[in-house]
Amino acid sequence: MTQRAGFVALIGEPNAGKSTLLNRMVGAKVSIVTHKVQTTRARIRGVAIEGEAQIVFVDTPGLFRPRRRLDRAMVAAAWGGAADADIVVLLVEAHRGRTAGVDAIIETLRERVAEGRTVALAINKIDRVKAEALLALSADLNDAYPFARSFMISAERGHGVDDLREWLAETLPEGPWLYPEDQIADLPMRMIAAEMTREKLTLRLHQELPYELTVETEAWEDRKDGSTRIDQIVYVARDGHKGIVLGHKGETIKSVSQAARAEIAEFLGRPVHLFLTVKVRPGWLDEAERYSEMGLDFRDGD
């Protein structure tokens, strides 16, 4: 059999389930997932193998109308991911249907994604609706855009995901594999570890706060005794936020740290000592270095 390989970009509105699908395809949690919108900030690649095909999934930040600098960088990363891919999969939430946001994405797909590029539709979260509604939604969306194929899936429960993966494998171009056989992600471990901590913080905190914080891995030491020491900084934009992140008597940061440590240790397969420091940095949302740590492009004047 001939080898196949290529990039499959997952795009859609915030919260559509792109990261959940990527993790399921890869079989490991390489991209963080929360119930909140705008969880993914950068392009994250995860590798899946199906028969003789190596499918490199590109998770992207959700597409929406950007206003702030970070929003613009995220949306630019998402469209950049789609432009570079061999196949684009648009995820639409079954229970929300054809929203204005979905229409806006379809319009941009027409303008920005080269003619002849394969674009598939995946209606996700089918566990939340009745089957009849799905057929009508699929027909409606196929009227709006000439999708190469339509799938109905539940990324969370796994329905329909095997069909999608098989179709992607046979549709990718022939060519040698792009990554070593045992590699599942191309994000540096220090970034995955920072993302895991950001996920736990996002789950714990409320309202706008998660948006205004970022996590960076400062130091990483694999020790002789088989454990790893990781130091991370949580940057917050305002003085008042520091106290919220720390919590009463440091309880919030302590429980976040425990949850993150357990997950990082499981991923690495070795004991982890995690040290979190919270720093107030009022201007971080306008600092180029913070963006490069996240894998985003920072453009002056944005």
Residues in contact with ligand GTP by CB under 6 A are 12, 14-20, 33-35, 37-40, 61-62, 124-125, 127-128, 154-157
Q: Which of the choices Mg ion, ligand GTP, none does residue 247 contact, using the CB cut-off of 5 to 8 A by kind?
A: none
119 and 161 in contact (C-beta within 8 Å)? no
Q: Which is nearer to Mg ion, 18 or 43 (CB)?
A: 18
Q: Which is nearer to Mg ion, 40 or 232 (CB)?
A: 40
Q: Which is nearer to ligand GTP, 53 or 92 (CB)?
A: 92
Q: Least distance to Mg ion from the beta carbon of 12, Å?
A: 9
Q: Least distance to Mg ion from the beta carbon of 59, Å?
A: 6
Q: Which of the choices ligand GTP, Mg ion, none does residue 171 contact, using the CB cut-off of 5 to 8 A by kind?
A: none
Cα-to-chain-centroid distance, residue 44: 6
Q: Least distance to Mg ion from the beta carbon of 18, Å?
A: 5
Residue with the CB atom nearest ligand GTP in the bound state: 62
Interface positions with Mg ion (CB under 5 A): 18-19, 39-40
Q: Which of the choices ligand GTP, Mg ion, none does residue 105 contact, using the CB cut-off of 5 to 8 A by kind?
A: none
Rounded (10°) angle between helices 161-171 and 18-26: 80
Q: Which is nearer to Mg ion, 78 or 126 (CB)?
A: 78
Q: Which is nearer to ligand GTP, 128 or 254 (CB)?
A: 128
Q: Least distance to ligand GTP from the beta carbon of 103, Å?
A: 17
Q: Which of the choices ligand GTP, Mg ion, none does residue 15 contact, using the CB cut-off of 5 to 8 A by kind?
A: ligand GTP
Q: Which of the choices ligand GTP, Mg ion, none does residue 14 contact, using the CB cut-off of 5 to 8 A by kind?
A: ligand GTP
* Separation CA 282–CA 93 (nearest Å): 36
- Do β-strands 228-236 and 272-280 pair in parallel, antiparallel, or remain unpaired? parallel
Q: Which is nearer to ligand GTP, 19 or 228 (CB)?
A: 19
